[in-house]
Amino acid sequence: MSKKILIVDDSPAQRKLVKVTLESKGYEVLEAENGAQGLELLSSDLKLIVCDVNMPIMDGVEFVEKIKSSGNYQFLPIVMLTTESQTAMKEKLVAQGIRAWITKPFSMDQLLSSVSKLVV
């Protein structure tokens, strides 16, 4: 069974960079360009979500709120990968259950370290 990860980010370049990095380590990757698309791609075989905060249509905050209020996905680990660095925003999302916060720009080693700790 593959380890499937969903990337939710409005930047095609950012999604590609993260996808290539994760696929090089054997992960299967799905992509969404906003939270609304991300909700459509939720499935029981997902192991992790990597999500941006600032996106059109549905931002990362609303996306996380919807996932964490769902009985099916409330324990699915989420890593926020974002330019957002406001302490209040980070505290709000951590309180909702996100498992890691990585601020852009970031290193691939930082991303892979967080992912490997959360995907078992």
Residues in the chain: 120
Domain containing residue 43: CATH number: 3.40.50.2300
3-state DSSP assignment of residue 6: strand
- Name the domain count of the chain: 1
Alpha helical stretches, state H, 29-73: 35-40, 60-68
Say how far apart CA 45 and CA 21 lie, in whole Å: 20
Domain span at residue 51 reads 4-118
Residue with tokens 């996100």: 98
pLDDT digits over 13-40, tens only?
999 999 999 999 999 999 999 999 999 9
pLDDT digits over 56-114, tens only?
999 988 999 999 887 788 889 999 988 877 888 788 888 888 888 888 888 889 899 99
